[in-house]
Structure 1
Amino acid sequence: MRVLIAPDKFAGTLSAVEAAAAIAEGWRRRAPGDELDLAPMADGGPGFVDVLHATLGGDLLAATVRGPYGDPVPGTVLRVGDSAYVEAAQACGLHLTPEDDRRPEHASSYGVGELVAAAVDAGVARVVVGLGGTGTNDAGAGLLAALGATSTPPDALTGGPAGLAGLDAVDVAAARERVAGVELVAASDVDNPLLGLIGTTNVYGPQKGVADDRLQAVDAALERLAAAADKKLALAKGAGAAGGLGYALLLLGAAREPGIALVADAVGLPTRARRADLVVTGEGAFDFSSRSGKVPYGVAQVAAEALRPCIALAGQVLIGSREMRAVGIESAYSVADLVGQEASFADPAGSLAALAERTARTWSTM
């Protein structure tokens, strides 16, 4: 039996690469004769570069860039042929903003612009920026500044929403020149606009630490940038991705592509699914939000197009069978239900392997 294993990360415990390895380890215990094809997945957020590197190979170019509060953080650019891949979360991820010291009104995406610049300097024709998991909400103002955009006053673009609150004017010509001749792609499944009730601040700001009584003020700060640069573009789908990094990339001429579809195509998932008899996906918490462009939904769609069954292994399963099938998953299995929540966190890889071993009893023909 041929099994395609294509999970997302299990947030906070296992990367997608580690999750795929754990599932494979457990599956082999029960069905050592099955042919396993590991295809760890990502949707543009944390793990984007690692997942692509694991499948595509290529060269990892190290870069030290500014973190959300200006401290140096390590980053990497993955170069594969004429394309380069950048993960925004490496420079401004939520994990870089400690929960007890989150200052979202001062967090900047400057480091993402530095990663894009490093990718451009590598001489590639195409730069793909994975968006997701960020701790910033500055409409990509920092990214623009790192690529050469200027403002009045001079430091308005680098101080997060607090800096934008005093913005009078912006000139992005130098930033556009910096990336001229390079195809930019914003990889994200978020289709929110930049501003308003369904914009990036009101929908995603609270999880980044923006206080409820500050949402309107922060949204207004982003609106100042949009008014100075391109108000119409703020309405575009995906402009609100990653705290508005989508807007900044669109300003620079980027095209937007769904992150999960981009990764699936890059790793050849449709062809690999057609070769498989069963597709296994997974993530930390499998709930109804999994339908919103997340990895299990994307993998299930690929499996459906290949006429192959798809099952999911998850830390927790929080939806019923009807909702599960609406996402395209035949069955879903929970680590927490098997070993308990405390044990699942104590040994995430071992617990996931145990779940995979038990699941193979049902699904493997061995």
Structure 2
Amino acid sequence: MRILICPDKFAGTLSAPEVAAAVVEGWREVAPDDELEVRPLADGGPGFLEVLATAISGRRIPVPTVDPLGRPVDGEILLTDDGMTAYVESAQACGLHLVAPEERDPKRTTSYGLGALIATAAECGARRVVIGLGGSAVNDGGAGMLTALNAVPVDVTGRALPYGGAALAAVAGLVGLPQTRAMELVAATDVDNPLTGPTGASNVFGPQKGASREDVLLLDAALARFAEVLERDLPGCPPGLAGLPGAGAAGGLGAAVLALGGRCESGIALVTRLTGLEAALDRADLVITGEGSFDHQSLRGKVVAGVAGAARDRGLPCVVLAGRVSAGRREAAAVGVTEAHSLVDHFGGEPHGGVERAMSRPAEGLRALANRLARQWSR
């Protein structure tokens, strides 16, 4: 039997390659003769670069940068062997995981560190930069990123704005020409939300980044103002920027990429293409995917939905393994999920509850679930 194992990361515990390795180990304990093919995946968020490095021939270049609060942090770019394309992961500089819960405040967090990564790609001679967007702690519409690329947001006096989304309420213009003018920019996004409005960056994702209801209203208005400035001051910025699909990705970083003349692309579609997932699906009898939390957001542009849909189109069963499962069974089936299993439920009978065990012993739990699946599915 041919099993395709293609999970996303389990945020906060295991990378996508580590998840896949645990599943492989558990399956082989029961069915060692089955043919297992591994394709770790990402949708643009954390782990994007690590996954692509397993599939793309190139070199990883360390880049010192800063986190959402301006503190030093290590990042990197993945530069293809021909030097023409660079891959960058926004979460390495803007990730929510870089900011402790008590520090999270999208009114002041900045995307400057991402700009430093892109600037390094430009200095390396890349003509095309693919930026994985997702899992960010920022809500500044890419203002910090643009500053690092020499397009500085200023107030009516011409002074550079402080970092953070709240400062954009006073934005009056941009000073300088962006460093990316000769480069093609592609945003690999995990969502298609617009920049502003009820389904925009501030309303949908602001609260998980530490925004109160009052903060959300302030940030949404500030992003709307910033979009107007970008349309006016950046040549090639598309009209109606605030309402474009993907503009709200990663706290509005999608809007900044679009304003620079770039485009948005589904992160999972891009990773699927680069990792050869389509051909692997054609060879499979069963597909196993997964992520840390399989919920309603998983069904919209995330790894699991992309994999399950591709499996469904081929008439293949698709099993989801997750830390926690809260997506409805009917909704999951509609996107192609045959069944879903959670570590929380697996550990639920143990002392101290399933959540604690799922977080502290994820690889062990995945091996056990893979054991069970092998007994159920292997023939």
The bucket for the TM-score relative to the shorter chain is over 0.9
Which of 329, 333, 337 lines up with 1:325 in the alignment? Answer: 333
Q: Is the 8 A contact 1:269 1:302 kept in 2?
A: no
**1:195 alignment partner, SS class:** coil
Distance 1:215 1:288, change over 3 A: closer
Sequence identity percentage = 51
Correspondent of 1:140 among 134, 139, 142: 142
Taking the aligned partners of 1:33 and 1:155, their CA distance within structure 2 comes to 67
Is 1:164 aligned to 2:165, yes or no?
A: no
The runs of 4+ residues in structure 1 deviating greater than 6 Å are: none
Deviation digits for residues 38-66 of structure 1 (CA, Å, limit 9, x no counterpart): 11111000000011112324211100112
Kindly indicate whether the alpha-carbon contact (under 8 Å) linking 2:65 and 2:93 is maintained by their aligned counterparts in 1.
Answer: yes
Q: Distance in 2 between matches of 1:161 and 1:146?
A: 16
Which secondary structure does the structure 1 equivalent of 2:174 belong to? strand
Q: Which residue of 1 aligns with 2:77?
A: 77
Superposed CA RMSD: 1.6
CA distance in 2, matches of 1:163, 1:322: 43
Deviation per CA, 1:114-173: give whole Å up to 9, x if none: 1111112222232100000000000000111111103334554551123222222224x6
Question: AA paired with 1:51?
Answer: V
The amino acid across from 2:72 in the alignment is P
Native 8 Å contact 1:156 1:167 kept in 2: no
Distance 1:315 1:151, change over 3 A: closer
SS at 1:174 equivalent: coil
- Cα distance in 1 for residues equivalent to 2:289 and 2:362: 16
CA deviations on 1:88-127 (whole Å, 9 max, x unpaired) are: 0100111112111222211110111111111122222321
TM (norm. structure 1) is: 0.94
Identify the residue that residue 196 of structure 1 maps to in structure 2.
197
- Counterpart selection for 2:263 from 247, 255, 261: 255
SS in 1 for 2:292: strand
Of 109, 128, 131, the match for 1:129: 131
5+ residue gaps, structure 1, are: none
**Equivalent AA in structure 2 for residue 200 of structure 1:** A
**Aligned partner of 1:337 among 336, 345, 370:** 345
1:363 aligns with 2:367: no
SS at 2:170's partner residue?
coil
In structure 2, relative to structure 1, the CA distance for the partners of 1:152 and 1:87 (3 Å cut) is same
One-letter identity of the residue aligned with 2:307:
V
Q: Which moved more, 1:61-70 or 1:334-343?
A: 334-343
Distance in 2 between residues matched to 1:84 and 1:2, nearest whole Å: 34
Match of 1:349 in 2: 363
Shift of 1:7: 0.5
Match of 1:104 in 2: 106
Tell me if 1:271 matches 2:271.
Answer: no
Q: Superposed, which structure 2 residues align to 1:1-366 within 5 Å? A: 1-81=1-81, 82-153=84-155, 156-171=160-175, 174-175=177-178, 178-230=179-231, 232-340=240-348, 341=354, 342-365=356-379
Deviations 1:176-227 (A, max 9, x none): xx22332210011322211222211111111111111222222222222122
In 2, distance between residues paired with 1:135 and 1:13? 18
The number of equivalent residue pairs is 362
The residue type equivalent to 1:363 in the other structure is W
The residue matched to 1:41 in structure 2 has which SS?
Answer: coil
Cα 1:195–1:156 shift into 2, 3 Å = farther
Report deviation, 1:232.
2.0
Question: Is the 1:170–1:225 Cα contact (8 Å) retained in structure 2?
Answer: no
Whole-angstrom CA distance in 1 between matches of 2:215 and 2:342: 38
CA distance 1:30–1:119, change in 2 (3 Å): same
